Chains A and B, each alone.
Chain A
């Protein structure tokens, strides 16, 4: 696929994007202390003296956080560095009590990897991962509690983060969105980050620049503070236009950090620092290099579950799904499992259709995620089975499903309660046909004179008279026969 270009006033431009994602590691305790990590606790109620940087306190690393980073690296098909080093990144801010963040600079725990993107047109793109490193999160400052003051909560300080940096391989807002979506799906599959952007478990900064196609790289701006995939795409689109208009108007892009304002839908420069960032990294003398046992890494590798790409390929091969359908279903592990439960032993394409159209549609209307679905996978199986054995028609199945969504009841119970069982009694169907033909004698004559198109009209009338419960195949046969005279 060739890179999508953006048309400016003076010709086409290519957009170059790299993403830095901060993913909060799923763990009970923090990266270097035994304080809890739960979201939404009372301010400063989950803070150890290490997190508060009290004098004399020493960090001791959490084995599980290391394991989570390695698992993530393996899932990204990345190089695992058996020796990595923790460094101090020095800067001053009220929510960073030590005056430095423990991070990894020259020797991260995970090196280069790749991520595969599934584009809407069915094509795929491979994006390079530069690195993944472990670091501490900072605390949180609230600026609106009282005028002239900032209120600091250190609950988040010291929680383990994985910073995952992509190569500048992304070429459009759409690709950036697809990258973030895919990365989030992978993290959720392996359970190393819950991917919740609203709670800040997954945060994204975007480096954006523009250039003439194939030309030298332009100056980039870093957009911070993007907390949803939709906002990421909007921020990139806005920033792309801003840079193109700036350059075409005779200006130059200045390398700077910009904030995305979701309310105004624009990016704006952050108050520029008097001095450029100079973090003066150096190895943290409190921590020895982290050495991993290759056998331990191999065990973790063996435990990596089936990931979205492999699952997608399997869904296409085993169930005959299209690339698009398979891609949508594997985007969320719960949805993929739901589909497989329904598809097993049934018509897989019908199952995919019900999950993606009826179920997703209902969830969308209710504003619910699939793991809170009012209709379980087993219940949907029940509905499909009632269709398969002829108890209800496909048309009535949608009504039954709507009732299931509303009440949470099983399909069989809804069918009984509402009396929706399909009528296969030939006599009953014939009686209904006779009644309609008697009522619509003129139309019967027209039909018999050659107006074949009226057949659909008769089907509709009989169906309506029978409350939609007639077996459609039987109705068709009987009707054809009777109309023929």
Chain B
């Protein structure tokens, strides 16, 4: 499997990253390098081995169903570039 420039452009667009045309060629090389490395790993026989989900083997921690966060609207909105009537305000986006 290898990527071309169009695929790199598409992935960048999906991630909302601006990658200028002159940088795309370099990205093709870097990403293909990573994919080649993954291909190498695939050669290892992992039959019967459970997938490792974390380098630290631990179970998911669960929390009780208790409200622990006081509603602090000012703190949540503190860094918002625009706010009004307690809302975040963003350029109009309608789907």
Counting chain B residues whose Cβ lies within 8 A of the other chain, the interface size class is 35 or more
Which of A28, A90, A275 makes the CB contact (< 8 A) with B67? Answer: A28
Query: Which of A41, A44, A64, A148 lies at the interface centre, i.e. has the most chain B CB atoms within 10 A of its CB?
Result: A44
A459 to chain B, nearest CB (A): 64
Cβ contact within 8 Å between A288 and B92:
no
Instruction: List, in ascending order, chain B residues with CB within 8 A of A148's CB.
Output: 91-92
Judge whether B23 is part of the interface by a CB distance below 8 angstroms. no
How far apart sit A148 and B91, CA to CA, in the bound complex (Å)?
Answer: 6
How far apart sit A448 and B87, CA to CA, in the bound complex (Å)?
Answer: 85
Judge whether B16 is part of the interface by a CB distance below 8 angstroms. yes
Interfacial residues of chain B within 43-95, with CB under 8 A of chain A in the complex: 53-54, 58-69, 71, 73, 75-77, 82, 84-95
B53 to chain A, nearest CB (A): 6
Instruction: List, in ascending order, chain B residues with CB within 8 A of A62's CB.
Output: 62-65
Instruction: List, in ascending order, chain A residues with CB within 8 A of B63's CB.
Output: 29, 34, 60-63
Chain A 280-295 interface mask (CB, 8 Å, partner B; 1/0): 1001010111110000
Instruction: List, in ascending order, chain B residues with CB within 8 A of A290's CB.
Output: 60
Interfacial residues of chain B within 25-58, with CB under 8 A of chain A in the complex: 53-54, 58
Question: Chain A: how many interface residues by the 8 Å CB criterion?
Answer: 54
Interfacial residues of chain A within 144-161, with CB under 8 A of chain B in the complex: 145-154
How far apart sit A27 and B67, CA to CA, in the bound complex (Å)?
Answer: 10
Stretch in contact with the other chain, from A47-55, A170-178, A233-241: A47-55
Which of B15, B54, B76 makes the CB contact (< 8 A) with A52? Answer: B76
How far apart sit A47 and B64, CA to CA, in the bound complex (Å)?
Answer: 18
Judge whether A92 is part of the interface by a CB distance below 8 angstroms. yes
Q: Given A148-B92, A288-B60, is A153 in contact with B65 using a C-beta cutoff of 8 Å?
A: no
Q: Which 8 A-B pairs have the closest CB atoms?
A: A34-B68, A64-B65, A151-B87, A45-B71, A63-B62, A152-B88, A288-B60, A48-B69
Residues of A participating in the B interface, judged by any CB pair closer than 8 Å: 27-29, 33-36, 41-49, 52, 60-66, 85, 90, 92-94, 141-143, 145-154, 270-271, 275, 278, 280, 283, 285, 287-291
- Can you list 15 A-B contacts with CB-CB less than 8 angstroms, sorted by A residue number? A42-B73, A92-B16, A94-B88, A94-B90, A146-B89, A149-B89, A149-B90, A149-B91, A150-B91, A152-B88, A153-B87, A154-B76, A270-B95, A271-B95, A278-B14
Given contact pairs A61-B62, A150-B94, enumerate 4 new A-B contacts (beta carbons under 8 Å): A42-B71, A44-B76, A47-B76, A143-B94
